[in-house]
Structure 1
Amino acid sequence: MRVLLLVVGMLLVTATPASAHAGGLTPQNHLSRVVGIEPPLPGVSARMVNHGTQLEVRNDGSSAVVVADHVVGAGEVWRYRDERTTAEVWEVPLGSSVVRGRVDTVPGPNPLWWLLVTSAIAVGGWFLGRSKALLAGGVVVVTVAHVLHAVGSTLAVTGGSFVPLMVGASGVGLVCWPLAGVAVGAAVRRKPAAAFVAAVVGAMLVVAGIPDFDSFRFSQLPFAGPADVDRLLVALTLGGGLGLAAGGFAFMRKEMAR
Structure 2
Amino acid sequence: MRVALLVLALLLGPAAPAHAHAGGLTPQDHLSRVTAIDPPLPGVTARMVNHGTQLEVHNGGATALLVGDREVGPGETARRRDERTSAPEWEVPLNGGAAVVRGRVDTAPGPNPLWWLLLCAALALGGRALGRGRWPLAAGVVAVTAAHAWHAVGSTLAVTGGSFVPLLLGASGVGLVAWPLAVVAVVAAARRRPAAAFVAAVVGAMLVVAGIPDFDSFRFSQLPFAGPGNLDRLLVALTLGGGLGLAAGGFDRMRREIPR
TM more than 0.5: yes
- Cα-Cα RMSD: 1.2
Name stretches of at least 5 consecutive residues in structure 2 with no aligned partner.
none
* Equivalence for 1:159: 161
CA distance in 2, matches of 1:184, 1:219: 36
CA distance in 2, matches of 1:117, 1:42: 50
Task: Tell me if the contact between 2:4 and 2:195 (Cα under 8 Å) persists in the aligned partners.
Answer: no
CA distance in 2, matches of 1:232, 1:197: 24
* Equivalence for 1:253: 255
| 1:161-218 C-alpha deviation (Å, 9 max, x unpaired) | 1000000001100111000000000000000000000000000000110100000000
* Equivalence for 1:38: 38
Q: Which amino acid in 2 is paired with 1:80?
A: R
**Residues 222-233 of structure 1 mapped to structure 2, 5 A cutoff:** 222-233=224-235
Task: Tell me if the contact between 1:17 and 1:210 (Cα under 8 Å) persists in the aligned partners.
Answer: no
CA distance in 2, matches of 1:17, 1:196: 24
Percent of matched pairs sharing the same residue: 74
* Equivalence for 1:179: 181
2:214 aligned with 1:212, yes or no?
A: yes
Q: SS at the partner of 1:35?
A: strand
CA distance in 2, matches of 1:189, 1:166: 31
Tell me how far 1:9 sits from its aligned partner. Answer: 3.5
**Residues 55-204 of structure 1 mapped to structure 2, 5 A cutoff:** 55-95=55-95, 96-204=98-206
Task: Tell me if the contact between 1:12 and 1:204 (Cα under 8 Å) persists in the aligned partners.
Answer: no
CA distance in 1, matches of 2:230, 2:136: 27
CA distance in 1, matches of 2:185, 2:225: 29
Task: Tell me if the contact between 2:27 and 2:220 (Cα under 8 Å) persists in the aligned partners.
Answer: yes
Q: SS at the partner of 1:99?
A: strand
Q: Which amino acid in 2 is paired with 1:233?
A: L
4+ residue segments displaced more than 3 Å: 3-7, 9-17
Q: Which amino acid in 2 is paired with 1:66?
A: L
* Equivalence for 2:54: 54
| 1:97-151 C-alpha deviation (Å, 9 max, x unpaired) | 0110000010100011100001111111101010111100000000000110000
| 1:78-107 C-alpha deviation (Å, 9 max, x unpaired) | 001000000011011012201100000101
| 1:13-64 C-alpha deviation (Å, 9 max, x unpaired) | 6546521100000000000000000000000011000000000000111111
Tell me how far 1:12 sits from its aligned partner. Answer: 3.7
Q: SS at the partner of 1:129?
A: helix
Q: Which amino acid in 2 is paired with 1:52?
A: G
* Structure 2 length-normalised TM: 0.96
Q: Which amino acid in 2 is paired with 1:92?
A: V
* Structure 1 length-normalised TM: 0.97
Q: Which amino acid in 2 is paired with 1:252?
A: M
Change over 3 Å in CA distance of 1:41–1:160 after alignment to 2: same
